[in-house]
Amino acid sequence: MALVTSFMGIHVVLRRSSFYPDAIAHASLTGVALGLLLAVNPLITTVIFAVFIALALPLFQKSSKLPLDNLLGSLLPSAMALGVLLLALMPGYQPELISFLFGNILTIGLTELYWLVALTLVVLYFLFVFRKQLILISINKDLAKTSGVKVERLEIVFSVLLAMTVVAALQIVGIILVNALLVMPATIARTKARSLKTMYVATPIISLLTVFFGLLISANYNLPSGPAIAVLAGVALLLSVVLAKVGATN
């Protein structure tokens, strides 16, 4: 999970769309609720719902001509509230809600592990094959179009894979903290990296270390895994900003 979110996070940070995966994560609570209500594996319904949202957002933005941040700001509370209402219809929904809000790595079984491995391979293959086109799209979409890059097609695939990555991260860090894995390692790397190549090397290392030590703290002190990882990532980001500022003054 640390690997797949770190590489996806690089492109999220380059696109300056850190709020996007957060909105997808909050909206996916409705998918979780639908799975529990229909007595289906929540992973299946959550993936379907998250992909639907990821594909519908650009279309809705194009037809409504509203800014993306306005749409995301409206989607986040509405979709999450709908999920909470659906969960409230079921007796004893609170433990399920807490688990998906803040993550619980102990709920991951072999099925989820196989899904995670498959997703990681697909995402890494896609990002490796199309990395130059994706970087060009992030820098200048118009230039990418004139250079012959199939921008719309690549953005659709990227959005779908990002939605699936968000869903995969939910069980580890939860809906509220998913951006800790997707955005923070890439942001930390960006404060120190002098080139995109360095950022590609540094981000997964930072992500792996954050998750490893976060889980170590969680296991040793009997703390929830998601918040432990998120707090550690936040501390690392704060330190990197402070060190970068000290280095600049010196």
**Confidence (pLDDT) at 92:** 65
Distances, alpha carbon 28 to alpha carbons 8, 12, 113, in Å: 18, 18, 19
Q: Give domain status of residue 191, yes or no.
A: no
Q: Give domain status of residue 193, yes or no.
A: no
Extract long-range pairs of 198-206: CB within 8 Å, 24+ residues apart. Answer: 199/10, 200/7, 200/10, 203/6, 203/7, 203/9, 203/10, 204/2, 204/3, 204/6, 204/7, 206/6, 206/236
Per-residue tokens: 184? 């923070």
**Confidence (pLDDT) at 93:** 59
Q: Give domain status of residue 239, yes or no.
A: no
Q: Give domain status of residue 95, yes or no.
A: yes
Q: Write the pLDDT tens digit of every residue in 57-82.
A: 888 777 777 777 777 777 777 888 88
Please tell me the number of Cα atoms within 13 Å of 250 on its side-chain side. Answer: 6
Q: Give domain status of residue 36, yes or no.
A: yes
Q: Give domain status of residue 182, yes or no.
A: no
**Confidence (pLDDT) at 6:** 93
Three-state DSSP class for residue 140: coil
List average pLDDT for each run of 10 residues in the chain, which is 250 residues long: 92 86 87 87 88 85 76 78 82 66 79 89 94 90 90 92 91 83 91 86 94 93 88 91 75
Q: Give domain status of residue 155, yes or no.
A: yes
What is the rounded end-to-end Cα distance, in angstroms, of the chain? 37
Do residues 34 and 49 make contact, with C-beta atoms less than 8 angstroms apart? yes
Enclosing domain of residue 101: 2-176
Per-residue tokens: 97? 């809600």
**Which domain CATH number covers 135?**
1.10.3470.10
Q: Give domain status of residue 24, yes or no.
A: yes
Total structural domains in the chain?
1
